[in-house]
Amino acid sequence: MSDHHSPVSPPGESVAGLAVPLERDVFLRRLLRELSGALEDVVGLEEASGYISLVGAAMGEHIHHEYRRALAVDRLDRRQLGEVLVDLKRRIQGDFSILEEDENQIVFGNTACPFGQFVQGRPSLCMMTSNVFGAIAAESQGYAAIRLERTIAAGDPACRVVVLLRPDEAATPGAREYFRRDDVG
């Protein structure tokens, strides 16, 4: 007896025409999901978050530079900061909006993660948002603390991200702090 299997596609159909859900965006999101999962499994959630934080900080510096160049400013003011953070997430298919804003903080809501369904169960990926927002806010305002109060990665229906713009010990438990590079000794 032969071990002959039926072809998956009709004879003569091109492989390029197969209904395989694979394109660059899905591939890269899945790659990041698998990478973050491997890190979480091998070194633990805290250490994985630390590694992803390094990438997020570098991304934040790059994005901050690009927006400053496009706006022709040395530093973003608070209004520009909020607009930039919403815009950058929109450009990568997030759905962030400003829920509250005053001189001390900007509170964002989000109903669509840029990582899509691939963020589910991968809380270390939230460090991308924390560090990108933190790097941009600290560079433009001198200081930022980021508090991820709710995240889609943790199973919440939406994210709530608080960007604190002034140091306040009462407001920063559980927050990650960021400082402008030229303010650090």
Q: Would you state the pLDDT for residue 10?
A: 62
- Determine contact, residues 100/106, Cβ cutoff 8 Å: yes
Domain CATH for 163: 3.30.1380.20
> Domain range holding 50?
20-183
The rounded distance, in Å, linking the Cα atoms of 169 and 14 is 62
Q: Would you state the pLDDT for residue 185?
A: 43
The verdict on residue 5 lying in a domain is no
The whole-chain average pLDDT of the chain stands at 88
Residue with tokens 């229906």: 157
Selected residue with higher pLDDT from 138 and 18: 138
Domains in the chain: how many in total?
Answer: 1
Q: Would you state the pLDDT for residue 17?
A: 83
Residue 105's φ and ψ, nearest 5 degrees, are: -160, 160
The verdict on residue 11 lying in a domain is no
The verdict on residue 35 lying in a domain is yes
Question: For the segment 136-153, what is each residue's pLDDT rounded down to a tens digit?
Answer: 999 999 999 999 999 999
The verdict on residue 3 lying in a domain is no
* pLDDT score of 103 more than 60: yes
Q: Would you state the pLDDT for residue 20?
A: 84
The CA radius of gyration of the chain, in Å to the nearest whole number, is 20
Sign (positive/negative) of CA torsion 51, 57, 62, 63?
A: positive
Residue 148 CB partners (closer than 8 Å, separation 6+): 126, 129, 130, 159, 160, 161
Question: For the segment 47-77, what is each residue's pLDDT rounded down to a tens digit?
Answer: 988 888 888 889 999 999 999 999 999 999 9
The verdict on residue 6 lying in a domain is no
The HSE-up count of residue 173 (CA atoms within 13 Å, CB side) is 1
Share above pLDDT 90 across residues of the chain, in percent, rounded to a whole number: 58
Selected residue with higher pLDDT from 12 and 85: 85
The verdict on residue 13 lying in a domain is no
